[in-house]
Structure 1
Amino acid sequence: MKLEKLRVSVAGLGLIGQVHLVNYLSHPNVEVVALADTDPERRAGKLNRLHGNLDEFTKEPIALGEFRSYEDPFKMCEDKDIDIISVCLPTDLHAAVTLKALENGKHVFCEKPPALTSREAIRLTVTAEAMGKTLMFGHVLHFWAEYVEAGKIIESKKYGRSLAASFARCSSRPAWSIGGAEQGWFGNPERSGGVAVDLHIHDADIAVWWWGRPQEIDASGAFIGNMPSVIHSRWRFRDGLIAQFEATWETVTTMPFYFNFKVTMERATLLFDSRNADGLQLATEDKLVSIPLKKAEAYRLEDYYFIDCILHGKPVDRCPPESSILSLDCVLEEARQIAERHRGITSV
């Protein structure tokens, strides 16, 4: 059966928007028809000048002449000749643009986080259901080979239940938005949500995916200026599992980006560190082995999965919006605790 071509648009042509755009351009059942960005140079096709904490970004210019061009993403949402809008905008615009797109009958892929508040995110899921449209929030680690395989091992309980876990995700402060680390939208906590909502949410989402809702959250951290930039957090789950997290936006630009996790089970330990070429490792009583994995571009798998859900009318089970909202709830609680403790320190 020949499948229809879905007409896709991308709102936001920054680092992550370019990654998604390239993926849509490669999909056989997708036609990219429109793009939106406030930067006239990006709309003119100068898309190969960004760098950040991703390896997957465009290295060659993309000819954008055949696409409709919008400066205002809200106007693009009203375009009747669009089936899907991929929202890759600054975080403070995620909820508003996604809502506008859904209300105009579009399917929506929205990059993480879904919103800056849980109430906004819930409204998006309610609207998507009412409009009969597919909504997916972009938590790419659900498609990252090491995290997928680790999740399978944990769920199988082949090595017993999980006893403890630790996660780290650290980088320099993001400087790849227009204006850089200080003047760009990342540097404004009211726009980005700080390190908790932008960076740490990746690992919070993984913990929710693997073990569900935590029973207790205890978080502390540090501010750099007015920006919450360091998180140390401890989650306790109902079965006694303890998960610890570290996430930082460092002040120095030379800080390398890295991420890792360790999961201690009753009869084995899972290890992964992005700085280690051995990939996902499993330590048992008698040996330490690297688990062979088929490497694939996680962002491409994510985008193709979203398109497949729409083409075949399938629910977004692999990355359900409800799980994304729970992850947001957790990091917002951490941010609240950190801000409260920060006020106590600064008021002394």
Structure 2
Amino acid sequence: MVKIGIVGLGFMGKMHYGCYSSLDNAKIIAICDIDENRFKNTGETAGNIAGAEGELDLSDKTLYTDFDEMVEKEDLDGISICLPTYLHPEYTKKALKAGLNVLCEKPMALSTELCEEMVAAANDAGKRLQIGQCIRFWPEYVKLKEMIESKEYGELKVLTFQRLALTPTTGWQNWYLDGNKSGGAALDLHIHDSDFVQYVFGMPKAVVTTGMTGPTGDYDHMVTQYRYDDDKVITAEGGWMMQASWGFEMSFNAVFEKATVSFDVTKDPMFRVCPADGDQFTPDVLPGTGYSQEIAHFVNAIAGEDVPEITTSQASKESVRLVLAEKESAKTGSKVEL
């Protein structure tokens, strides 16, 4: 049984809690949050994806408000760090130094230099550092990657992503709205699709981005074209400047030679394959969500099981580098080469 701790009981902490609780080979031992009220009012946090609603029964968990105390007293195998982005490096390095395997929420950090410190800490400790780039595990995106690589519907010609949300105002001390702490929507939200692009196709040769600064003082809406050596068109749009009644859109449209494949969480059915010959249909995909799949992957890996290499800390660092290049392109109004 893999013994788990969670630090940070906001939306993502609750999401991780639910995913770990569904596994037969993991047990949550302890939870840490600096705000004791989070332990009393566990039903108050919510996010843009279902799965973290409702009250939690914490009666059999040991609760802490001090991270160092939890790490010292508890015999843990792994820990989920579900804290604001600007705290990721500090607490990741602490946990690794204490001999724990770490699943740290995305984005990895606010700079590539900080990412490199986290990678080095994991290497020094000989422990696993996994960053929560959950789209690599999201069932419909997994299926899309399979279609691209198998060329089941011929060559991919065009691929567009959209990830649009309302402005987040529920974070601890409103940290999302401070670009110096969150990196804005570009680094917190849009990075999901940037990471998936470099996962499937490798790092682009260059990016061309237009962006709009928003309530964080950083880029809170951007559109990027990812340039490769061939003529395929790959773009991603992401931002959190939508009005409160908008909700959330996570979608992609893939144009193959012999089919169009679409996914949109706002539609029913969400996932469709529209082949050149025959009627549209919804293909079978893995169960659960990207969150449940990535957490099962983390637990299985530290339990010693043979798992595929879906994500690495180095790849997550590269995704931060990619988004920072997109920001530079938006700032300068010119192509940025990588």
TM-score by length of 1: 0.89
Q: Give the distance between the partners of 2:145 and 2:189, measured in 1 at CA.
A: 20
Select between 287-296 and 223-232 the one with higher mean Cα deviation. 287-296
Query: Deviations 1:36-60 (Å, cap 9, x if unpaired)?
Result: 112111134x21112220111131x
Q: Secondary structure at the match of 2:45?
A: coil
Q: Determine the structure 2 residue equivalent to 1:130.
A: 124
Q: 1:192 to 1:138 in 2, by over 3 A?
A: same
Q: Secondary structure at the match of 1:290?
A: coil
Q: Determine the structure 1 residue equivalent to 2:171.
A: 177
Q: Which amino acid aligns with 1:198?
A: D
User: Is the 8 Å Cα contact of residues 84 and 182 (structure 2) preserved in structure 1?
Assistant: yes
Runs of 4+ aligned structure 1 residues displaced above 3 Å come to: 74-80, 313-316
Q: 1:333 to 1:76 in 2, by over 3 A?
A: farther
Do structure 1's residue 334 and structure 2's residue 326 form an aligned pair? yes
Q: How many residues end up aligned between the 2 structures?
A: 332
Q: Determine the structure 2 residue equivalent to 1:145.
A: 139
Query: Deviations 1:144-195 (Å, cap 9, x if unpaired)?
Result: 221111110101022222222111110111122134xxxx000000111101
Q: Determine the structure 1 residue equivalent to 2:50.
A: 55
Do structure 1's residue 195 and structure 2's residue 185 form an aligned pair? yes
Q: Give the distance between the partners of 2:261 and 2:31, measured in 1 at CA.
A: 42
Do structure 1's residue 244 and structure 2's residue 238 form an aligned pair? no
* Alignment counterpart, residue 99 of structure 1, candidates 90, 93, 101: 93
Q: 1:167 to 1:288 in 2, by over 3 A?
A: farther
User: Is the 8 Å Cα contact of residues 103 and 298 (structure 2) preserved in structure 1?
Assistant: yes
Q: Give the distance between the partners of 1:315 and 1:128, measured in 2 at CA.
A: 18
Structure 1 residue 277: Cα displacement? 1.1
Q: 1:238 to 1:126 in 2, by over 3 A?
A: farther
Q: Secondary structure at the match of 2:172?
A: coil
Q: Give the distance between the partners of 1:67 and 1:277, measured in 2 at CA.
A: 39
Q: Give the distance between the partners of 1:288 and 1:266, measured in 2 at CA.
A: 16
Within a 5 Å distance, the mapping from 1:237-316 to structure 2 comes to: 237-250=228-241, 252-294=243-285, 296-298=287-289, 299-314=291-306
Structure 1 residue 22: Cα displacement? 2.0
Q: 1:317 to 1:79 in 2, by over 3 A?
A: farther
TM-score by length of 2: 0.91
Do structure 1's residue 207 and structure 2's residue 197 form an aligned pair? yes
Q: Give the distance between the partners of 2:293 and 2:39, measured in 1 at CA.
A: 26
Q: Give the distance between the partners of 2:293 and 2:268, measured in 1 at CA.
A: 22
Q: Which amino acid aligns with 1:201?
A: I
Q: Determine the structure 1 residue equivalent to 2:33.
A: 37
Q: Give the distance between the partners of 1:316 and 1:104, measured in 2 at CA.
A: 26
Do structure 1's residue 6 and structure 2's residue 2 form an aligned pair? yes
RMSD: 2.0
Q: Give the distance between the partners of 2:286 and 2:169, measured in 1 at CA.
A: 29
User: Is the 8 Å Cα contact of residues 11 and 37 (structure 1) preserved in structure 2?
Assistant: yes
The answer for unaligned runs of 5 or more in structure 2 is 334-338
Structure 1 residue 89: Cα displacement? 0.5
Percent identical = 29
Q: Give the distance between the partners of 1:187 and 1:281, measured in 2 at CA.
A: 35
The answer for unaligned runs of 5 or more in structure 1 is 342-348
Q: Give the distance between the partners of 1:322 and 1:266, measured in 2 at CA.
A: 33
Structure 1 residue 313: Cα displacement? 5.0
Structure 1 residue 74: Cα displacement? 4.4
